[in-house]
Amino acid sequence: MAARPIASGIVSFGLVAVPVKLYPATRSKSLSFNMLHKKDRARLKQQYVCSGCGDVVERDDTVKGYEYAKGEYAVLSEDELRALEHKSDQSIEIDQFVPIEKVDPIYFDKAYLLGPDKGGHKPYRLLAAAMRESGKCAVAKFSTRGKQQLVLLRQADQGLVLHTLFYADEVRGFADVDLGDEVATKPAEVDLAVKLIEQLAADRFDAEQYEDEYRKAALEIIERKIEGKEIVTLPEHKPRAQVIDLMDALKQSLASQGGKRRPAAERPKAEPARAERAEAEAEAADAPGGRGARKPPARASKARGEASRPARARRSG
């Protein structure tokens, strides 16, 4: 089934304009469960309850506030919030081209496929060919939904991929992480670790050889329940024995990897399950420049989260 565009935009660099369409590059298959009443299995509805007076509050009676201190909020009106919005002209203005290997993947948020829009086929292919030849990706600003989103465009296969990016102040560094005391490593330990890496090394990442084991097991249980069959409890995984000595752990790991790993082509792949009802198909509400939330099909789950925005502002209502 052909992908459907969820938004449109115009990529511009210099005097060149490339009309494009955005397509979802991924789809979540995480399982989503609804909350039901234990007595009659009816679905539950969510309500807003005031933590102060305990009253149930309708959405029309809510306002947005930013918690600047514990229990203290700065309330912003709808007019004040609208005044902060940028002009949403769907422009994707390239600011600079940089080597793709110089962009830390930690900044990547969501991914979208870009396709040419009407009148943009030739400049689209020109931009893709030029980026492939130069080995550069493009850092741009996407004006959409009243905000300016930082994005990255890169060439892949025959087309272009757009990644939304986190801003620098949204990414944490190791200064926030307790790495413990400085510990010196011995050359022999490093040598064994390098050998273990070489034994587990592959020429490329093959996503097809991996599967979500939790989702597969859960769908098998769901399938049996739908068919009215008895549920078989899955065996528990035994915890690995803890090896205290680092050298001993490296040697045991090398010994266990003595033979060649089975090629990916020979490994069993996951079989599709009929009960795969929770597949998320609400990417449009999640996309930058999307057409807004659309009612998902009955077999689909809810959209996966909101688009990237400054970390502190996420605490606002």
pLDDT in tens, 159-201: 999 999 999 999 988 888 888 888 888 898 889 888 888 888 8
Residues 52-74, mean pLDDT to the nearest whole number = 91
pLDDT on residue 57: 92
Running DSSP on this structure, what letter comes out for residue 146? Answer: T
Q: What is the pTM of this model?
A: 0.64
Euclidean distance between CA atoms 270 and 261, whole angstroms: 19
In a domain, 233, yes or no: yes
Q: How far are the Cα atoms of 60, 207, 209, 271, 310 from residue 215, in angstroms, in the given order?
A: 38, 16, 15, 12, 32
CB contact at 8 A, 211 and 272: no
d(CA 48, CA 71): 18
pLDDT at 284 > cutoff 60: no
Q: What is the pLDDT of residues 67-97, one digit of tens each?
A: 999 989 999 888 888 877 766 667 899 999 9
Cα separation values, 103 from 11, 137, 151, 169, Å: 20, 9, 12, 16
> Does a structural domain hold residue 258?
yes
Degrees, nearest 5: CA angle 95-97-103: 105
Asked whether residue 187 is assigned to any structural domain, the reply reads: yes
192 C-beta neighbours (distance < 10 Å), count: 18
Tell which residue, 156, 149, 173, 171, has the closest CA to residue 290: 149
Beta carbons within 8 Å of 123's beta carbon, 6+ residues apart: 16, 17, 18, 116
**Angstrom distance (rounded) from CA 58 to CA 252:** 61
- Report whether pLDDT(311) > 80: no
First CA to last CA across the chain, in angstroms? 38
Please check whether residue 80 lies inside any domain of the structure: no
* 8 Å CB contact between 115 and 33: no
pLDDT band at 294 (very low <50, low <70, confident <90, very high): very low
CA 212, CA 229: separation in Å to the nearest integer? 23
Other Cβ atoms less than 10 A from the Cβ of 121: the count is: 13
For residue 283, being part of any structural domain is answered with no
- The pLDDT score that the predictor gives to residue 106 is 92
Residue 36 lies in a domain: no
- Structurally, the chain folds into a number of domains equal to 1
The answer to whether residue 231 is domain-embedded is yes
Quick check: 266 pLDDT over 90? no
Q: Does residue 242 lie in a domain region?
A: yes
For residue 258, the enclosing domain spans: 183-266
Positive or negative CA dihedral for 91, 154, 4, 214? negative
